[in-house]
Structure 1
Amino acid sequence: MPEGPEIWRTADVLTESLKNKPINDLFFAFDKLKEYESKLEGQKVNRVEARGKAILTYFESDTVMYSHNQLYGKWMISKNGEQPDTNRSLRVAIHNDEKSAYLYSASEIEILNRDKVNEHSYIQKLGPDVLHPKTTYEDILGQFQSDKFKNRKLTTLLLDQGFVSGIGNYLRSEIMFYAKVNPREKLREYSNQEKEALAEATIKLSERSYETGGVTNDEKIVNALKRENASYDDYRHFVYNRTDDRCHKCGTVIEEEKTGGRKIYYCPNCQLN
């Protein structure tokens, strides 16, 4: 499932393609949304933004389209109404004179009133969105310092969208590595300094992944590996999905463990010593 950086990049592409351009045709696959095809035709899209792993499309009226891709949903953009060549099931299509935006395979699509967005069952449960422009370092640090979460294991907590939204499996391992913390502990077992490091890593690596299109590794390491003709998979991450490879920082062999049915990756030397 795409994580926060990928969802925000999708929102950016949709904003660039749709913002301030009158809609000349609209398609909804679900019968419950059909009435909005005519209601929204002729309107402009004001903006598109991410909330956790959902996307909100704001029309110039008080109407907002909520969509969540789940595992298989995907937005695609084309020019002049040319529909992409795909076997996916079309759920939504938004057309203007320049671009067309197609949403495929998503199962959760709703139309909301703008003043009711924060009352949506998914959105109201979200923690601070790590990439939202209004989210601060203090917001993220406050989550790590909160008594509400102190008895939760960090590996589980980092995937909880009610803790910090936008974090997924690759960012989880990368954040714990960058903060140099033992991934096996509960939140209460980390020092204040470690919690500060975790908050910093959460923001820094999420922003880095957003800006680079998915790379979380340090720029100097990435550039050095590129000069050695390393593949994208070799230089993209510090530890995620690099079992039995060498740590970019110390040369120790990266290990993996399964927790909650999903793997975490870590460096025994950088994180356990």
Structure 2
Amino acid sequence: MPEGPEVKIKMNLLCAILKGTTLMNMDVCKESFHKKTHDFERLTKILPATVINSESKGKFGYITLDNGYSVGISFGMTGDILEEIPKPTDKRYKHLAVKFTYANYKSELKSIYYTSIRNFGHIWIYDTPELNIKLNTLGFCILNDNIYTKEEIVSRLRKRNNRSICECLMNQVLWAGIGNYIKSEILYTVKLNPISLVKDINDKQLYELYLAARDLAYRSYLDGGSGQYNSIFELNVYNKSICPRGFEVKRIKTPDKRTTHWVPEVQEC
């Protein structure tokens, strides 16, 4: 699943392609994806429009237009952006979900594509107040330029003292951008048992989790993202059999209802 670093990379690609161009239309290519598009009836009123920017907060991406509207994008488990339409023989072809048609600087019509293999993603049309409401529902962004203080991080987590740390890490209301691989990696880095409750973790460790998530997310982003084409980013435990310390990596179903990759010899506390 694309996490904060991967979504930022995808939205950077959209920015490089679309910024300053004119978005002409958005067409649903896959019948089963119609139910994952929201307020598309607005398109006839708001398009064409000039693309101002393409940004992300955590795992949520959005394209802003010059008329006060935005296109919100979630990538779900398998969402992606393709610069060119694949050949019909390419397995990605049948998963084309939405076609973005735009006019470039030469007024030439071009297209890019949003794909979704498992149809877990969504695309919304927002006006400015609606976009702000959406952004405000998301927690601290681990790729934000601002570093949050220990007090800010700890006070928010202490309100959920009796919850599993895995549930809290995966809660986008608390942290925007953490998914399964970042969760597993930072718990290993801070040497925390994945079945721990928040109340079992001291304030120093809670803040170390945030700093570890921020560090990991930036390194992943700069290296091209985890699991992306041409990526050089290396993980320690996620989808690994042996960790760098030489111990076997175990897998456990944690209260967030996801599989967490961990090393008991390292994460005893």
Give 1:4-153 correspondences, 5 Å limit: 4-23=4-23, 25-29=24-28, 32-37=39-44, 39-41=46-48, 43-78=49-84, 83-85=85-87, 86-97=93-104, 100-105=111-116, 108-120=122-134, 123-133=135-145, 135-138=146-149, 142-146=152-156, 147-153=158-164
Matched residue of 2:22: which SS? coil
Query: 1:211 matched to which residue of 2?
Result: 222
Deviation sequence 1:166-210 (CA, Å, 0-9, x none): 111111010111112222211121122212221210110111111
Deviation sequence 1:201-253 (CA, Å, 0-9, x none): 0110111111112359xxxxxxxxxxxxxxx99982111122xx3321x2222
Contact 2:224 2:232 (8 Å CA) reproduced: no
Q: CA shift at 1:77, angstroms?
A: 1.4
Q: Identity of aligned pairs, percent?
A: 25
Assess, with a 3 A threshold, how the Cα gap between structure 1 residues 141 and 5 changes in structure 2: closer, same or farther: farther
State yes or no: 1:271 paired with 2:260.
no
2:144 maps to a residue whose letter is: H
Assess, with a 3 A threshold, how the Cα gap between structure 1 residues 63 and 233 changes in structure 2: closer, same or farther: closer
Assess, with a 3 A threshold, how the Cα gap between structure 1 residues 39 and 233 changes in structure 2: closer, same or farther: closer
Runs (5+) with no aligned partner, structure 2: 29-33, 88-92
Alignment equivalent of 2:235, drawn from 226, 231, 237 = 237
State yes or no: 1:262 paired with 2:258.
yes
Q: CA shift at 1:33, angstroms?
A: 2.1
How far apart, in 1, do the equivalents of 2:259 and 2:186 lie?
14
Q: CA shift at 1:271, angstroms?
A: 1.9
How far apart, in 2, do the equivalents of 1:9 and 1:234 lie?
14
Q: CA shift at 1:53, angstroms?
A: 2.1
User: Cα RMSD between the aligned structures?
Assistant: 2.8
2:258 maps to a residue whose letter is: R
Contact 1:208 1:215 (8 Å CA) reproduced: no
Q: CA shift at 1:94, angstroms?
A: 3.0
Moved over 4 A (4+): 232-235
TM-score by length of 2: 0.80
Matched residue of 2:139: which SS? coil
2:70 maps to a residue whose letter is: V
Contact 2:2 2:79 (8 Å CA) reproduced: no
Q: CA shift at 1:18, angstroms?
A: 0.7
1:143 maps to a residue whose letter is: I
Q: How many residues are paired up? A: 245
Contact 1:27 1:37 (8 Å CA) reproduced: no
Q: CA shift at 1:7, angstroms?
A: 0.7
TM-score by length of 1: 0.79
Q: Which has the higher contact order (CA 8 A, sep 6+)?
A: 2
Runs (5+) with no aligned partner, structure 1: 217-231
Greater CA deviation, 145-154 or 160-169? Answer: 145-154
